Structure 1
Amino acid sequence: MRLLTVLVLLIAPPATARACDLDHAPTTHWSVATENGVAWLKTPCGDRFYSLGVNILNGGYPYRERDGKTFYSWIAFTPTLTDWITQTRGRLAEWGFNSAGGWSLPPAELRLPSVINLELGRRAKFHWFDPFAPATEHNMMALARELTAPYRDSPYRIGYFSDNEVGWWAGALFVYYSMQPPDTYTKQRWVEAVRRHYHDDWAAFTADFAPPPGVNAWPTLLTSAAPTHMLPGGHGIAVVREWTGIVAGRYYTLAEKAIHAADPQALYFGDRLPIYYDPAAVRAEAPHVDAIAENYNVDAGDGWIARYFFDGLRNLSGGKPVLVTEWFFAARENRTGNRNNGHLMTVGTQTERAAGAAAATGNFARIPTLIGSQWFQYFDHPKGGRADGEDYNFGLVDIDDRPYERLIAALSAANRQAPAIHAEARWPTPPAADATFVVPHAAVSVEERSLTAWPKPASLIPPLTPSPGAVGFGEVYLTWSDRGLALATIGQDYFDIDLFDYRGEFPLGDAYRLELGVDAGAGPRRMTLFFLPPRTKVHDYPEMRAEFCEGAADDAIKHGCRPVPGAEAVYFGADQPRITAEALVPWSALGIAPPAPGATLSADVAMTSWHNERWMSLSGQPPQAAMAAPAWWRKMRLGDGIAGGKRTAQGSAPE
């Protein structure tokens, strides 16, 4: 009876009227559907299902102690693995979780709805080998039959991930395949793509790229084993992005074909994009997947989720459903002793962790295209870290199998509410173009290097209009205080150190940047926040620095950076390609004394991606034109306290 009760709880979230008994389901086929503008998984019984999953439900390591470290292992807690499964399944039901994510035991053992990671491309040697070779398709077809065999007749099998965090790092793909031997199919396709893009014009190609020494024509470009690099100031990023779409299109075409041939009843979720997405890769992916799997690093310690991110996925994919396949919260205060040694979401205390995770659960549910969110992971990393060095307090339980009580209590409540919240999810309606934006009053501090204290729903300015053919790649927040006008940004774009060939200081003209124009009553003032990468990487990500310069971007690019007097700017988005920063502009830099609530100003904001590939602005004009025309700037008013009501962590809720 207890097992039946647990299964009913797992398959029947609070918003579902009846349970699907998967052991007696009429089919093994899960589906996705959109009802009243909201995306859902559908069980084999046809019921709505919002996945609240957990990754790494595998019992832990096969050993408890090794190399001076203590690991989470079922052998320390239960007589058998079966006993561990029964205990864990009961816990998850009580905590409001209903499914299993990646790296979990087979669904036949867990008896939980599961999405299985096949590692199909990696096993078939698609990535970083010769993906256009005919043998690659044969290998993927054969491997898919083998890898899906244990799951294909199970109603607990929702579907498959083809791989994990392939990344689609555009610059790396371009440089790598430029160095491959001439007899590889993919090197030949690379040269064909470049020649086609430049209409067979070698001079046009070399205006954007530096070919290897001694390479002076297309035939020698094919035979060269040295890298081709992109030059500053050109338009080479367009063909780099195009090449990414070509390779990604090949991958998703083969993966879809192989998985659906091997298991026609299964859903295909793609390859778990890694807290970032390449727009060309998403466009290539969308026609081939049932839903897009996306890993996510929450944007602030209060559970805020930047709106541009999932809105961009919606626009790129034509509204495909999205499954968040990893998300996490760590705290420096933890029983395992994890150091939390990287750039992933970490807060100070377990109380903060519980509050932020619960808020994020609700914020995910408020996104109409999401069909679930899957926590990473069930247990903490061992003290001192995994074999790859990652050492985080990600667990629902510690390495001694003790639940983190505050986290569990908060997530249990949030999980119970999530399906009902999701049923009411709607995309926010943008304000009218002539509506006055109220800048909230908030004494934020850039020294904190965090957006947690920002009143984000109130301070988020209207969505920036992207350049033709692009989607939004970031968003901007404004607040004010007696000290000045504060600005924050969250965005994404990938910069590859090995692609770009430059001498001396990084050229400002190729930098990711944010331009701000403000007229607070003393005439228009313009300033530009540039993000500059290092020459080499010390960690697995480049550590950026911010330069805040007077004038529009063109002024600094042509004449050098003159710092904004008295301004402060801090970059703290160490997980590039996610870019997060904040800045404070003193009122003196805008030519006025500290104003009073109700004062008016006009402003425009423009952002430009690496290598000038795409832009967006509040006025909808290209950045140079936007900064030059104050008549187009948006009317704003300084609020008295927090505009729009109480400060809240209900991040991405429509207002």
Structure 2
Amino acid sequence: MKMENRRFVSPLAIVLVIALAAILSINAILFYTIFRLNEEISLISREIVELQKSYTNLSLQILSSLYDEYGGATYLHGDATGFFHVEKIDGKFWLIDPEGNLFISKGVNHVDYWGDYSPSLGYSPYNKYVSEKYGSADKWAEEAVSRLKKWGFNTIGAWSSRETYDKGMPYTVILNIALEAGASWLTGNVADYFSREFKEAAEKIAMEECAPRREDKYLIGYFIDNELRWAADWRSSNDLFDDYMLLPPEAEGKKALVNFLREKYGEISSLNRAWGTSFSSFDDLLLEKHAPKTLAAEADRRGFLRIIAEQYFKLTYNIIKKYDPNHLILGCRFAYKPPDEVLYGCIGYTDVISVNCYTNPYSDDLESRIIDLKEIHRLTSLPIMITEFSFKAMDSGLPNSKGAGVPVKTQAERAKYYEEYVKAMMKQPFIIGYHWFQYSDQPLEGRFDGENSNFGLVTIQDEPWETLIQKATIVNLNAELTHLRGEEG
């Protein structure tokens, strides 16, 4: 009997075949799942892009229907004078645009094609990106202004590229008169505001910067300077009286100080009794470098501070108005609430008080700053513009180790605190605007003074911080109503 040849399959082989089939099936399922996920992600991405487009289109529709070409609210009116000016209507201060519509200055500082130069790099990384992206400062400026309008802003703030000035958005100019005469916001150096050099600097700058702009309807006005030192602060322990005591005897500021004391005391013996000194004449004071710390001398420090402030504001106001009588003087961007004597000294010689006002959002800092602003307004009866504020976040990838303010955790917190800050400010009847610092982020490697923070609306690569932008747009478009409603809103 013939036996059939049979082949036996090993059980191990069967197991391996089954395992291989299972692996292939799982891979197929995984590949299909990944394919479907990719499709879903692509669909979601497209929907996000479309949502952002519709969001932008909605903001543009609101802007075109509710605002005029300057960014003034067409549903609220003042007097049309052809230039920006200030009015108080039903107890609230407003800027009024050339068409006569009520205007809140919603600005951004340092909208600058050149960005921030980094000494360690030898160039500005922001400028490197945008020069390659746009090819010219003019094309960059067109896009920057277009973006700002879409985001509900209506003002080009200080230190911005001149190419932005003719793109259909109101703008401001910082003159830096005291800076030209030797003062420094960075070190706290004080200029002699009584000197020939200071007057000549004011004349030169006003002739060059103000005279050509006197008929420009898009110009809101001029900042005289930025963050001058008016008292002892983090930059110096001196009062300005002590700085002027250090001037040489031939300096006009030193002569003004001695004349102030001569007019106050009349006789040198009266000053000696008050100061506990033994000068033989007031002329001796021209050679003196230091004043005592008596109560009388402290009162004289405050009294002469008002004389200094009045000299600074009166001289700059009159010279600027000589060359351009049509536009506003927007103050000198105080870094903090200055001494009362400075505020009294500016009355009559500025149209607006400007204050740079950063806050710690994790504290009651905002409430404290508003108390300061209320006191400034109470003493001067003048409207106030917030000319710097910002929030920087640690999820930006930037160090945030130098620069004003306390870092927050995320971009969501930046957006949250933007809303909180602007709403709180716009509820005040004397606040007429707020300017964010700044358009683009600072370099990771640090700018000229080491600042390296996430202050920007856009990144170094010129990409918008979308979470912040979307919140800012909503808040900006509601600013006029927030101001109108006030504390009741």
Is TM-score (shorter-chain normalized) higher than 0.5?
A: yes
Task: Tell me, yes or no, if structure 1 residue 50 matches structure 2 residue 143.
Answer: no
Answer with 388-397 or 167-176: which moved more. 167-176
> What are the Cα deviations for residues 318-348 of structure 1, in whole angstroms up to 9, with x where unaligned?
x21111111111122213x132325524322
Residue type of the alignment partner of 2:374: D
> What are the Cα deviations for residues 497-517 of structure 1, in whole angstroms up to 9, with x where unaligned?
xxxxxxxxxxxxxxxxxxxxx
Q: How does 1:171-570 map to 2 (within 5 A)?
A: 171-198=238-265, 200=267, 202=269, 208=275, 218-224=282-288, 226-231=289-294, 234-301=295-362, 304-306=366-368, 307-317=370-380, 319-335=381-397, 337-341=398-402, 344-425=405-486
Residue in structure 2 matched with residue 103 of structure 1 by the alignment: 159
Query: Which has the larger Rg?
Result: 2
Task: Tell me, yes or no, if structure 1 residue 17 matches structure 2 residue 98.
Answer: no
1:277 Cα shift?
1.9
Distance 1:349 1:63 in 2: 26
Residue type of the alignment partner of 1:373: Y
1:187 Cα shift?
0.8
1:148 Cα shift?
1.4
1:215 Cα shift?
6.3
Residue type of the alignment partner of 1:384: E
Change (3 A) 1:6 1:181: farther
Contact kept, 8 Å, 1:197 with 1:239, in 2: the verdict is no
1:168 Cα shift?
1.5
1:373 Cα shift?
0.4
Distance 1:357 1:130 in 2: 38
Task: Tell me, yes or no, if structure 1 residue 121 matches structure 2 residue 183.
Answer: no
1:298 Cα shift?
2.4
TM-score normalised per structure 1: 0.58
1:119 Cα shift?
1.2
Secondary structure at 1:274 match in 2: coil
Answer with 160-169 or 6-15: which moved more. 6-15
1:69 Cα shift?
7.3
Higher RCO structure (Cα 8 Å, ≥6 apart): 2
1:199 Cα shift?
5.0
Secondary structure at 2:351 match in 1: coil
Distance 1:145 1:68 in 2: 34
Distance 1:202 1:222 in 2: 16
> What are the Cα deviations for residues 211-269 of structure 1, in whole angstroms up to 9, with x where unaligned?
7xx96753322223x333425xx343321111111011011111111111101111111
Contact kept, 8 Å, 2:120 with 2:445, in 1: the verdict is no
1:129 Cα shift?
4.4
Contact kept, 8 Å, 1:379 with 1:396, in 2: the verdict is yes
Residue in structure 1 matched with residue 91 of structure 2 by the alignment: 37
Task: Tell me, yes or no, if structure 1 residue 78 matches structure 2 residue 134.
Answer: yes
Change (3 A) 1:207 1:43: same
Answer with 367-376 or 300-309: which moved more. 300-309
Secondary structure at 1:56 match in 2: coil
Change (3 A) 1:109 1:386: same
Secondary structure at 2:425 match in 1: helix
Residue type of the alignment partner of 2:229: G
> Share of identical aligned residues, percent?
28
> What are the Cα deviations for residues 115-144 of structure 1, in whole angstroms up to 9, with x where unaligned?
110112332458844432456435423431
Residue in structure 2 matched with residue 147 of structure 1 by the alignment: 209
Considering fraction of residues, name the structure with more helix: 2
Secondary structure at 2:446 match in 1: coil
Distance 2:450 2:119 in 1: 17
> What are the Cα deviations for residues 177-225 of structure 1, in whole angstroms up to 9, with x where unaligned?
112221222211112223444453557557657x7xx96753322223x
Distance 1:35 1:351 in 2: 36
Change (3 A) 1:199 1:108: same
1:274 Cα shift?
1.1
TM-score normalised per structure 2: 0.76
Change (3 A) 1:173 1:418: same
Residue type of the alignment partner of 2:158: G
Residue type of the alignment partner of 2:199: E
Residue in structure 2 matched with residue 520 of structure 1 by the alignment: none
Residue in structure 1 matched with residue 51 of structure 2 by the alignment: none
Contact kept, 8 Å, 1:164 with 1:272, in 2: the verdict is yes
Contact kept, 8 Å, 1:380 with 1:395, in 2: the verdict is yes
Secondary structure at 1:363 match in 2: helix
Contact kept, 8 Å, 2:245 with 2:290, in 1: the verdict is yes
Distance 1:204 1:52 in 2: 51
Q: 1:93 aligns with which of 119, 140, 149?
A: 149
Contact kept, 8 Å, 1:99 with 1:113, in 2: the verdict is yes
Distance 1:94 1:340 in 2: 31
Residue in structure 2 matched with residue 441 of structure 1 by the alignment: none
Contact kept, 8 Å, 2:352 with 2:382, in 1: the verdict is yes
Secondary structure at 1:155 match in 2: coil
Residue type of the alignment partner of 2:373: F
Change (3 A) 1:414 1:101: same
Contact kept, 8 Å, 2:117 with 2:123, in 1: the verdict is no
Distance 1:295 1:254 in 2: 23
1:35 Cα shift?
0.6
Change (3 A) 1:389 1:230: farther
Secondary structure at 1:53 match in 2: strand
Change (3 A) 1:164 1:65: closer
Distance 1:358 1:383 in 2: 26
1:422 Cα shift?
0.5
Residue type of the alignment partner of 2:390: F
Contact kept, 8 Å, 1:32 with 1:41, in 2: the verdict is yes
Contact kept, 8 Å, 2:72 with 2:101, in 1: the verdict is no
Change (3 A) 1:62 1:134: closer
Secondary structure at 1:383 match in 2: coil
1:309 Cα shift?
1.1
Distance 2:102 2:319 in 1: 28
> What are the Cα deviations for residues 14-69 of structure 1, in whole angstroms up to 9, with x where unaligned?
8533899xxxxx86521110111111111111111011000011213497996277
> What are the Cα deviations for residues 450-472 of structure 1, in whole angstroms up to 9, with x where unaligned?
xxxxxxxxxxxxxxxxxxxxxxx
Residue type of the alignment partner of 2:105: S
Considering fraction of residues, name the structure with more strand: 1
Residue in structure 1 matched with residue 220 of structure 2 by the alignment: 158
